[in-house]
Amino acid sequence: EGVLPVRVYQADSSDCSNLLLARTPTAYGCDIARLTGEQNFLPPFAAAVDSSSLKWIIKKKVGDRIVYPQGEVSVHRTMQASVFQAGILLDEKTFSAIFPNHQGANFFLIPDQQTAAVCREYLADYGVTLQTAAEFMARAENVQNRYLAIFLQLGLLGFILGLGSLLLLLLRNLLTRKDEIIFLQETGCSQSTLFWLFCSENLSLYLSSALSSLLLLLLVALFARLHLPTLVLTWVLLCALGCTLIAFCHWCFFRCHRLPQIASGQ
């Protein structure tokens, strides 16, 4: 009593363990009215999908259609942090109409620990495994956090390599123009004048390339439906960091690099 059977059509997994596009995601079918307590939670041939899975793995939005060889459904609504994140959720009538050959239930939703203990006792010989919803979600979150940690480490490595490359490029540029710097100094240019002259030159090149990257970033954000304010804020911070690094590199060069001074005479 209270146990809700769920039928499953196995297809492309749409949870965080799958990094590929799920064109035909796994489908779950159950009595939606019993699950949600709402009679009109889903209309016929409509699906509810975990919001993260819909955005990142299935790559569709509410109102789009998901096509299976046996039929198609429309994405009607999204769910947050759902145990059905590996696929789409259908009402049992819709599931039966699209997948008539999948009759038996593959797993069950059990409402409380007492019922779970009874099920564990009677079904132990059949190899049934039980886990709480919290354990299931924690396992999914661990997989997601592992991917995020890997991407963060790779991004940090790329960021460090980029900063190092920029620093080496600036120093090489200044060293190759050492004769020009000496000539300008001998003609009367002060250290501060030389600093602003060369620093502004590199800053203008850097900012022009940064603006070009911003245009490309806006195009990517438009087509990928990314969070634009976050992307722009990240771009501004990286741009400010690059400008600071360029200015600091020039300041160190003109402060620490010994250049011949103009000899004064009578």
Query: Which has the minimum average pLDDT: 18-22, 124-128, 247-251, 258-262?
Result: 258-262
In this prediction, residues 82-97 reach a mean pLDDT of: 92
Residue with tokens 């620490």: 256
Supply 219's token pair. Answer: 């195009």
Is-contact 26 11, C-beta < 8 A? yes
Percent with pLDDT over 90 in the chain: 24
Q: What is the pLDDT of residue 78?
A: 94
Confidence label for 125 from pLDDT (cuts 50, 70 and 90): confident
pLDDT of residue 169: 86
Q: Report the SS3 class of residue 194.
A: helix
Whole-number pLDDT of residue 257: 64
Q: Are 131 and 83 in contact (CB under 8 A)?
A: no
Q: Which residue has the higher pLDDT, 234 or 75?
A: 75
Alpha-carbon distance of 66 to 86, in angstroms, equals 15
Residue 188 burial (C-beta neighbours within 10 Å; 0-12, 13-18, 19+): exposed
Helix and strand counts by DSSP (H, E) for the chain = 8, 7
3-state secondary structure of 22: coil
Give 216 or 227, the one with higher predicted confidence: 216
Per-residue pLDDT reduced to its tens digit, 148-193 = 778 778 877 887 888 788 888 888 888 888 888 888 888 888 888 8
More confident residue, 155 or 43: 43
Predicted confidence (pLDDT) at residue 96 exceeds the cutoff of 90: yes
Q: Which helix (H) or strand (E) holds 120?
A: helix 113-123
Model confidence at 265, pLDDT cuts 50, 70, 90, reads: very low
Question: Residue 266 pLDDT > 50, yes or no?
Answer: no
**Structural contact between residues 74 and 46, judged by C-beta atoms closer than 8 angstroms:** yes
Q: Is the pLDDT of residue 238 over 90?
A: no
Residue 260 has pLDDT above 60, yes or no: no
**Mean of pLDDT values over 109-118:** 86
d(CA 100, CA 88) in angstroms, rounded, equals 17
Higher pLDDT: 2 or 71? It is: 71
Supply 91's token pair.
């009402």
